[in-house]
């Protein structure tokens, strides 16, 4: 679900990398919007009638006056009138149309309030407030708001007849008082966003050091503790770490866990040992993998050393270090690292 590639641009102050955050959300729709979305699947548009007589689509889940769950759902037409519009010259991913189009607020016949959707016209000159439009349904409907593909101008049709607002449609029962009620439809709505992640200047120097096979920490000018990775702010003193300290590639395991559980988006195949490793010369532990030893033989206090990937696989990432492995030296005494737990 995540993709990123390290980009090494030596001239920039900081390192950056694209990250895609993506998940297909499974949404419980509830009795009101569940019925509304089912209606779209059936090719009808439902609106909610409020206690003060307004007819609103998509329906409000709860009445603005009484705060009670909306129960009065009525069918409205699939044709209506543009009450406002704007031009969308540069559509972004996910919008209803991939070419320039108009967004429109459209009051459907039988409704008293407008709904928002795209209007498929080629230029701003083809849309105006007061324009008559109708729904263009998606080829395949699945109980989502995108079952309405978009609006199109009414003169695209000949006879001018539209479904009339009519039949009241019962909402599902509200939640029972003594426990969960009946399931409502699930709507799957993907959310995928692209970001550029940047490391701080201090972190960037650390990752660049790794590209040279070095583990570089920095010292806090106030407390003199050596942080690895270096920090934009020493978490105790609130000032950036500064003077570089090249650290040994050996250290001790302060504590660890064995990850046996697989999960969505996991990068390393379980089981694996995730450990805090206090490098010799550092004042804070670093998280990494321990391999080359059965998991049940790993101990707190164990001496370990970095195992690097082949140089040709290196980038500006801590993944240049494949893992840590035991050095075979005697374990560190608990008292020497207990204040790092």
Q: Which of 154, 169, 223, 245 binds other proteins (CB under 8 A)?
A: 223
| Shortest spacing between CB 154 and other proteins, in angstroms | 19
Among 35, 36, 79, 215, binds other proteins (CB under 8 A): 36
Q: For the purposes of burial, counting CB atoms within 10 Å of the CB of 47, is it exposed (0-12), middle (13-18) or buried (19 or more)?
A: buried
Residue among 43, 44, 62, 307 that touches other proteins (CB under 8 A): 62
Q: Which is nearer to other proteins, 10 or 161 (CB)?
A: 10
Least separation in angstroms between CB 171 and other proteins: 12
Distance CA(131)–CA(144), nearest Å, equals 26
Among residues 154, 198, 245, 293, the one that binds other proteins under rule CB under 8 A: 198
Give the Cα-Cα-Cα angle 159, 165, 171 (nearest 5 degrees).
Answer: 140
Pick the piece of the chain touching other proteins (CB under 8 A) from 151-159, 163-171, 225-233, 302-310.
Answer: 225-233
Q: Which is nearer to other proteins, 158 or 261 (CB)?
A: 261
Residues within window 3-22 making contact with other proteins, judged by CB under 8 A: 4, 6, 12-17, 19, 21
Positions 113 through 142 that interact with other proteins (CB under 8 A): 113-118, 124, 129
Residue that is written with structure tokens 């560190």 in the block: 332
- Interface with other proteins includes 170 (CB under 8 A)? no
Element (H, E) at 56: strand 55-56
Question: Cβ contacts of residue 92 below 8 Å, gap of 6+?
Answer: none
Counting contacts by CB under 8 A, is residue 221 touching other proteins? no
How many angstroms from the chain centroid is the CA of residue 35?
27
Binders of other proteins in range 295-314 (CB under 8 A): 295, 300
Torsion of CA 166, 38, 55, 27, to 10 degrees: 170
Q: How far apart are the first and last CA of the chain?
A: 33
Nearest to other proteins of 57, 79 (CB atom): 57
Choose the binding region for other proteins from 91-99, 132-140, 160-168, 325-333 (rule: CB under 8 A): 91-99
* Stretch touching other proteins by CB under 8 A, among 81-89, 152-160, 162-170, 305-313: 81-89
Here the tokens at position 24 are 């297909």
Query: Judged by CB, which is closer to other proteins: 162, or 286?
Result: 286
Residue with tokens 């199109």: 152
Give the residue, chosen from 73, 77, 234, 304, that forms a contact with other proteins under the rule CB under 8 A.
234
Minimum distance between the CB of residue 158 and other proteins, rounded to whole angstroms?
28
Q: Single out the residue of 2, 11, 26 nearest to residue 186, CA to CA.
A: 26
Q: Which of 99, 139, 140, 263 binds other proteins (CB under 8 A)?
A: 263
Distance CA 331, CA 42 (A): 69
**Which DSSP string do the residues of 244-288 spell out, in sequence order?**
EEEPPSEEEEEEEEEE----TT-SSPSSEEEEEEEETT-SS-EEE
241-260 residues in contact with other proteins (CB under 8 A) are 254-260
Q: How far is the CB of 77 from other proteins (least distance, A)?
A: 15
């Amino acid at each position: 679900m995540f993709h990123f590639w390290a980009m090494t641009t030596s001239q920039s102050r900081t390192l950056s990398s694209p990250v895609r955050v993506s998940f297909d959300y499974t949404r419980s729709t509830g009795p009101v919007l569940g019925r509304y979305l089912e209606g779209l699947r059936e090719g009808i548009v439902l609106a909610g009638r409020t206690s003060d007589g307004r007819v609103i689509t998509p329906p409000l889940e709860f009445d603005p006056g009484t705060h009670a769950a909306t129960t009065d759902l009525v069918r409205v037409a699939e044709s209506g009138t543009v009450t406002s519009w704007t031009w969308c010259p540069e559509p972004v991913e996910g919008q209803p149309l991939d070419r320039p189009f108009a967004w429109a607020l459209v009051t459907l016949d039988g409704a008293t309030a407008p709904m928002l959707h795209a209007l498929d016209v080629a230029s701003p000159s083809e849309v105006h407030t007061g324009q008559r439009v109708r729904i263009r349904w998606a080829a395949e409907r699945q109980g989502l708001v995108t079952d309405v593909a978009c609006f199109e101008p009414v003169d695209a049709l000949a006879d001018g007849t539209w479904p009339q607002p009519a039949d009241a449609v019962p909402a599902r029962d509200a939640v029972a008082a003594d426990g969960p009620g009946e399931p409502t439809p699930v709507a799957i709505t993907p959310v995928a966003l692209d970001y550029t992640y940047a490391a701080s200047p201090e972190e960037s120097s650390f990752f660049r050091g790794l590209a040279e096979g070095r583990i570089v920490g920095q010292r806090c000018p106030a407390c003199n503790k050596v942080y690895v990775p270096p920090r934009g702010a020493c978490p105790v003193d609130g000032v950036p770490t500064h003077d570089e300290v090249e650290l040994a590639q050996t250290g001790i395991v302060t504590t660890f866990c064995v990850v046996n559980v697989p999960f969505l988006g996991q990068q390393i195949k379980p089981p694996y040992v995730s450990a805090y490793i206090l490098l010799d010369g550092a004042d804070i532990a670093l998280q990494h993998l321990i391999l080359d030893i059965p998991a049940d033989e790993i101990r707190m206090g164990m001496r370990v050393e970095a195992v690097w990937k082949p140089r040709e696989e290196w980038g500006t990432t801590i993944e240049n270090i494949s893992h840590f492995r035991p050095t075979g030296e005697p374990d560190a005494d608990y008292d020497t690292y207990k204040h790092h737990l």
